[in-house]
Structure 1
Amino acid sequence: MENKKKYKIGYTCGVFDLFHVGHLNLLENCKKQCETLIVGVCTDEYVIKIKNKTPIFSQEERCRIIEALDVVDSAKIVDIEEVNDKQLAQKIFKFDVLFSGDDWKGTERYVETEKQFAKIDVSIEYLPYTQGISTTLIKNSLNKTQD
């Protein structure tokens, strides 16, 4: 019999371009804490306008990769508004926990989100990033090998 999870529905979102072990670690850590894991995959527009990067894989391809993972129950493409407004994301996906990178902990944006979520009994769990791996590092490494 499986141990009861701390949360019913968990949510996280990201770009997930050039899927790597850091992404997998994040999603596995999220799933350990919730019965159902919903993952938002940022639109190409978000990546270009907000992150100032061009994704290697399209939003549909990235979403398909994420949804194929056993630890993910559902993957949905999310737009700029849904990524930036965590209350809007909560209304859409009905999660009781938001998983986010620990680099956001203590920021003005997340302190405010914590206050708003506390009023509706929604938690935020901050998870560490896997050191030594990122999409940017992979892209830089590939660029060096092409020189």
Structure 2
Amino acid sequence: MRIITFGTFDVFHIGHVNILERAKELGTHLIVGVSSDALNISKKGRPPIYNESDRMKIVESLHCVDEVFLEESLELKGEYIIAHKADVLVMGDDWAGKFDHYSNLCKVHYFPRTEGISTTKIIDVVRSTTVS
């Protein structure tokens, strides 16, 4: 079974590892769409800490990931699912219900996020402890 998931994967942390490893357990081939720098700016209002090429290299280096591509638009998720012949779309439960309309293309599964960890929190901690 082919599994697809999407994310920015900036300031890579244990929550990223957890969702990718759990996603891989659902099938035999894990495909990861890494949000482009431009997409990240449009959805989060800030550039990522690491550029898209570095983030893609980090994700593709993981043993559980079989394929990585650049996600350039949230509106193209359906096309990405079809193009990559995905059987299951996996997302974090902070997106619960928001991708159910893709259930006509593949099964949609939401995993709980790793409690207490987020890229935004990590960036905020680093910024607040940085000496000027």
TM-score of the superposed pair, with normalisation by structure 2: 0.93
RMSD: 1.3
Report % sequence identity.
37
State yes or no: 1:127 paired with 2:107.
Answer: no
Give the match's secondary structure for 1:50: helix
Amino acid at match of 2:62: L
For residue 95 of structure 1, give the secondary structure of its aligned residue in structure 2. coil
Higher Rg of the two aligned structures: 1
Q: 2:90 aligns with which of 93, 96, 99?
A: 99
- Cα distance in 1 for partners of 2:109, 2:80 equals 16
Which residue of the partner structure matches residue 77 of structure 2?
Answer: 86
Q: Distance in 2 between matches of 1:106 and 1:135?
A: 22
Q: Does 1:44 align with 2:31?
A: no
Amino acid at match of 2:100: V
User: Which residue identity does 1:59 align to in structure 2?
Assistant: E
Aligned residue type for 1:104 = W
> Does the aligned pair in 1 maintain the 2:15–2:114 contact within 8 Å?
yes
Kindly report which structure 2 residues correspond to 1:1-147, keeping only aligned pairs within 5 A, or say none. Answer: 8-80=1-73, 83-107=74-98, 110-114=99-103, 116-117=104-105, 122-147=106-131
TM-score by length of 1: 0.84
**Runs of 4+ more than 6 Å apart:** none
Match of 1:4 in 2: none
Q: Structure 1 CA distance, aligned partners of 2:52 and 2:95? A: 24
